[in-house]
Chain A
Amino acid sequence: MNRPIIDMKGIFKRFYIGTPNELEILHGLDISVPEGQFVSIVGASGSGKSTLMNIVGALDRQTEGKYVLDGIDVSKLDDTELSGIRNKKIGFVFQTFNLISRTSALKNVELPMLYAGVPAKERTKRAKELLEIVEMTDRASHMPNELSGGQKQRIAIARAMANDPAIILADEPTGALDSKTGRLVMDLFHKLHKEKGKTIVLITHNPELAEETDRIITLSDGRIISDRMTDKEAAE
């Protein structure tokens, strides 16, 4: 088994700490994801999926426990270091695409590299390569409002890949798409997984999509109720 990219031990997350409304959302999760795995996290709303995703994505810190991402203990980092982690180690793909409006597709893909301090020429070159991977080269100069949902999501995936992150964190990436374009996006993830060996974390409530991945972690009420390899993985 490959070395773990995500290594979480005893992750607790509580809100409103010290108030009568104190709320524990995650009750001590242990998750380990090896490099190159395509894992899906499923669960009903309110199961703690989003909270977990925020912690995995270094947008939020756990209240208790240890999270090592690609060999770095994230719990010890300050805000600026956390943004560095988000920038270089994580590629976000959102349900609502979240492209920066009035900014061309190419510039959107360049954005994470901009914050990483990549020189302009190199940025543009790499962004063009990424657009080629997601087959959006001809839309490079288009603004987000000139693109369809599926096209937007492909740009967003190219953007997520910009700094060659350790994991791609996709939060309901097909949730806002019709089944046909959703299919195309899923195919793109499979392609990145197979061809580039990317570690992908897919958050979804669609069990069919989850079945396509290597492994399914099911959350309920802030606890892991099931963590299994899919048939597909077993078959291989």
Chain B
Amino acid sequence: MNLIENIKLAFASLKSNKMRALLTMLGIIIGVSSVIMINTLGSIMENSVTDTFDSQGGSNLIGFQITMKKDAARDYLMPDDFISEEMIESVEQRFADDINVVSVMYGSENGTTRHKRETLDLVIYGVSPGYIKQSMTEVIAGRYINDKDIRKGGKVCAISNKQAIKLYGSVKDAIGQTLSIKMYGSMYDFTVVGVYEYRMTGMMSAMVNAMGEDWNNEVYIPYTTLSEMYGETDPTFYYFYVHINDGVDAESFASDVKNYMNNRYYRNNDSIEIFYQTAEAQMSMMSQVLGVVSMVISVIAGISLVVGGIGVMNIMLVSVTERTREIGVRKALGAPNSAIRSQFIIESIIICLIGGLIGIIFGVLLGNLIGIIVGTMASPSVGAILLAVSFSMAIGIFFGYYPANRAAKLDPIEALRYE
């Protein structure tokens, strides 16, 4: 009795009881489709994290910030602990060959502007020209904050395309306009020098779209201008970012800069030092978190697969009982125990495999449905599909074995007598 005959037999048996077969498969379908869906979602999330990462400058972006020393003498910050403009300038000079641009964000402030009879909420960011590289934005008209603006502490700003259209009718008309912003109870007039647009993909853009215009209310001004408003003549920073040139090794560059700054500026500081984090390190941390999340969900899906498997075993036991007489006849006609056993195991495997395949299709569809909403498509890994197929086969074998063995061991005389 060969495999093909057994497979034909299994299909014939399933066909004769379609509804039951489908219901039996349901557990497997749900289990497999959730595993595949999770996997597809995982790929989608990873893609979008990678996209965000790339749009922020990818592996060329390194963040430097102050942190407490291990043997810190204090647990609070002093003005001298912060990173000064002078420090950043000296890093820029010292590592000029490696650095593409340095970006800082001095701070952000809430403000409002009047438009017709409406009050619009704004978030004002004090930034350096390099900040555009990591802000997932692109200038589509005019220009961004430049070095001259920084030196002068000019009252200039860059607004989003959506704001431009809302306030001035079009992106082009916005350039040169005056934007009056109310901050801290005072009015400040800014000249719009540029309009930017968000360049986001994946989940980020989905989130932005979902939140609507709230995300487009960011106004960029020179950090010097913002610090002046605060009354701080020498702005200091908690952190800054460096975009390095292509081909520069991020890790060794970052540790060189760290050592340089620590030796030069923080040697005598009793509590604070510079530490760095490359984008790659951030990225791998995020991936790890994603990995853990999908692992946990996969385990839950795995449990549902086992529950599905028990359902299969249950139905196989019913099927064996129902077909006791048939088993007796087959044995009388010369079927050895092994043939009966493989007949039922193969039937169970077929149930699980069909369930698994339907599950894979459902999983991919569901995953991508969410992908469409989020804006990134992804397919599950081949590994996940193979795993799902082999796991459902394994369930078929594992949960089919006991009923099949029971069928195989039936006494032919008893079985023939069974009504």
Q: Once the chains bind, are A92 and B413 in contact (CB under 8 Å)?
A: no
Counting chain B residues whose Cβ lies within 8 A of the other chain, the interface size class is 20 to 34
Known: A59-B413, A60-B413. A86 touches B333 (CB 8 A): yes
Complex interface: chain A residues within 8 A of B1 (CB): 114-115, 117
Known: A94-B416, A115-B339. A87 touches B333 (CB 8 A): yes
Is A112 close to B, CB under 8 A?
Answer: yes
Q: Once the chains bind, are A115 and B326 in contact (CB under 8 Å)?
A: no
Task: Say which residue of A54, A60, A83, A94 sits within 8 Å of B334 (CB atoms).
Answer: A83
The listed residue with most B CB atoms (<10 A of its CB), out of A83, A100, A115, is A83
Q: Once the chains bind, are B334 and A59 in contact (CB under 8 Å)?
A: no
Is B337 close to A, CB under 8 A?
Answer: yes
Q: Mark B327-353, 1 if CB is under 8 A from A, else 0.
A: 011111111111100000000000000
Q: Once the chains bind, are A80 and B329 in contact (CB under 8 Å)?
A: no
Complex interface: chain B residues within 8 A of A79 (CB): 336-337
Q: Chain A interface secondary structure, helix, strand, loop or mixed?
A: helix
Is B16 close to A, CB under 8 A?
Answer: yes
Is A116 close to B, CB under 8 A?
Answer: yes
Task: Say which residue of B5, B330, B412, B416 sits within 8 Å of A100 (CB atoms).
Answer: B330
Task: Say which residue of A59, A87, A114 sits within 8 Å of B5 (CB atoms).
Answer: A114
Complex interface: chain B residues within 8 A of A65 (CB): none
Q: Once the chains bind, are A83 and B329 in contact (CB under 8 Å)?
A: no
Q: Once the chains bind, are A86 and B337 in contact (CB under 8 Å)?
A: no
Closest residue of chain A to B335 (Cβ to Cβ) is A115
* A115–B328 CA distance with the chains assembled, in angstroms: 14
Is A102 close to B, CB under 8 A?
Answer: yes
Q: Once the chains bind, are B335 and A83 in contact (CB under 8 Å)?
A: yes
Is A84 close to B, CB under 8 A?
Answer: yes
Q: Once the chains bind, are B334 and A112 in contact (CB under 8 Å)?
A: yes
Q: Mark B1-35, 1 if CB is under 8 A from A, else 0.
A: 10001000000110010000000000000000000
Known: A54-B413, A100-B329. A88 touches B334 (CB 8 A): yes
Is A148 close to B, CB under 8 A?
Answer: no
Task: Say which residue of B12, B13, B326, B332 sits within 8 Å of A57 (CB atoms).
Answer: B332
Q: Once the chains bind, are A59 and B412 in contact (CB under 8 Å)?
A: yes
Q: Once the chains bind, are B12 and A103 in contact (CB under 8 Å)?
A: yes
Q: Mark B310-330, 1 if CB is under 8 A from A, else 0.
A: 000000000000000110111
Task: Say which residue of B16, B331, B339 sits within 8 Å of A86 (CB atoms).
Answer: B331
Is A98 close to B, CB under 8 A?
Answer: yes
Closest residue of chain A to B326 (Cβ to Cβ) is A100
* Closest-CB distance, B407 to chain A (whole angstroms): 14
Interface members, chain B 383-419 (any A CB < 8 Å)? 412-413, 416
Complex interface: chain A residues within 8 A of B329 (CB): 94, 98, 100
Complex interface: chain A residues within 8 A of B5 (CB): 114
How many residues of chain A have a CB within 8 Å of chain B?
27
Closest residue of chain A to B331 (Cβ to Cβ) is A83
Q: Once the chains bind, are A98 and B416 in contact (CB under 8 Å)?
A: yes
Complex interface: chain B residues within 8 A of A88 (CB): 334
Closest residue of chain B to A171 (Cβ to Cβ) is B416
* A101–B331 CA distance with the chains assembled, in angstroms: 15
* Closest-CB distance, B254 to chain A (whole angstroms): 70
Task: Say which residue of A54, A87, A102 sits within 8 Å of B12 (CB atoms).
Answer: A102
* A219–B5 CA distance with the chains assembled, in angstroms: 42
Closest residue of chain B to A57 (Cβ to Cβ) is B332
Closest residue of chain B to A112 (Cβ to Cβ) is B333
Complex interface: chain B residues within 8 A of A60 (CB): 413
* Closest-CB distance, A99 to chain B (whole angstroms): 8
Complex interface: chain B residues within 8 A of A84 (CB): 334, 336
* Closest-CB distance, B419 to chain A (whole angstroms): 10
Complex interface: chain B residues within 8 A of A87 (CB): 333-335
Q: Mark B169-207, 1 if CB is under 8 A from A, else 0.
A: 000000000000000000000000000000000000000
Is A215 close to B, CB under 8 A?
Answer: no
* Closest-CB distance, A234 to chain B (whole angstroms): 34
A-B contact pairs, 29 of them (CB 8 A): A59-B332, A59-B412, A59-B413, A60-B413, A79-B336, A79-B337, A83-B334, A83-B335, A83-B336, A83-B337, A85-B334, A86-B331, A86-B333, A87-B335, A92-B332, A94-B329, A98-B329, A98-B416, A100-B326, A100-B329, A102-B13, A112-B333, A112-B334, A114-B1, A115-B330, A115-B333, A115-B335, A115-B336, A116-B334
17 additional A-B residue pairs with CB within 8 Å, beyond A59-B416, A88-B334, A159-B333? A57-B332, A59-B412, A79-B336, A83-B335, A85-B334, A86-B332, A87-B333, A94-B416, A98-B325, A98-B332, A100-B326, A100-B329, A102-B12, A115-B330, A115-B333, A115-B335, A115-B339
A-B CB proximity, top 10 nearest: A87-B334, A83-B336, A98-B329, A115-B334, A86-B334, A112-B333, A102-B16, A80-B336, A115-B335, A92-B332
